[in-house]
Amino acid sequence: MKGEHLGRQATGTRPQTALVLADHSKPGAREVSDQLLDFLKAHRLERVALETNLRAFDGHKERPASRSVAPLDFLPDLVIVLGGDGAILATARAFAGHPIPTLGINFGRVGFLASVPASHWREAVTEILDGRGVVEPRLRLEARRGSDVNHAPIPLALNEILVHRAAVLGMITVGLFVDGDWVTDYRADGLIVASPSGSTGHSLSAGGPILLPSLAGIAVTPICPQGLSYRPIVLGPTSRIEILVRKASGPSSLVVDGQSTQALRQGEKISICVHPAAYPLLTWSGLDPYRRLRERLGWSGVMQPLEET
């Protein structure tokens, strides 16, 4: 629910069915997926399935089964993703209406969402199968476009909602409103509304703050604003955000998690709020979240704490 505690929680349950989503284009993922399937079957789960077509998985239930992809005709208790953060985003989108506890084994380049190193997959999976899994509920964002029902549905965002100029040249002017109050107008390349999960992505590259997953906050970050005084702001989980496209020197777009794009018209208003249900991302209790930040962002300086004197 909005404003709920988003800190780490114990699952307390043992999964009986599992789905493995493996991006075999990642080096090493195919070998680990084979080992993982044997590992899960050895633990006598009632049902285990493998899916390798991650790009099409969010439409899996609607498309006919192919020879290379087994049909998914059940709702698993556990999803294990072998890939990067993009694969986690696709999984969260596929199970948006029925969030499934999801563990990400990192075979990508960064791995904020797919947090478990590939070298520790056995420890992490064993913990979950024993009912000792650790879940990090991740805040999600939902957006609506005015009252025109002819628009395509907007997917829920695990990371971010972006309003930006689609043209190569020119800028976009957008007005930001929070709880009905006008905040300011940005003349910029775009505006990012990010969840804590998304705060370490596009928003961070644009100068936004890092929000820990346990913080139920929303970061609003302008992209290359025309004016040095513009700074990112952090809003609370009950905030009602509205973005008005005042003027655009060319086409403008609404982008959700970098995976869904819709064209916007001048004068349109986008409403954004926190979705009532968080997404249950699983992690491994042996992980240090701050070490994850140090390693993923390449922070230099003192990598180990100084000894107290």
Catalytic residues: 85
- CA–CA distance, 305 with 258 (Å, rounded to integer): 37
Burial letters 58-82, b for 16+ CB under 10 A, else e: bebeeeeeeeebeeeeeebbbbbbb
* Residue 6: closest CA among 291, 274, 249: 274
Three-class secondary structure of residue 108 per DSSP: coil
Three-class DSSP category at 126: helix
Q: Are residues 120 and 286 in contact, defined by beta-carbon separation less than 8 angstroms?
A: yes
Per DSSP (E only), the strands in the chain are 9-10, 17-22, 47-51, 78-83, 102-106, 116-117, 134-138, 141-145, 160-165, 172-178, 181-188, 190-194, 218-223, 233-235, 241-248, 252-256, 260-264, 269-274, 279-283
Residues 6+ apart with CB under 8 A from 222: 186, 188, 190, 191, 192, 206, 230, 232
Cα of 221 vs its chain's centroid, Å: 17
83 forms beta bridges with: 106
238, 297, 268: which is closest to 174 by C-alpha?
Answer: 268
| C-alpha torsion 181→182→184→187, nearest 10 | 130
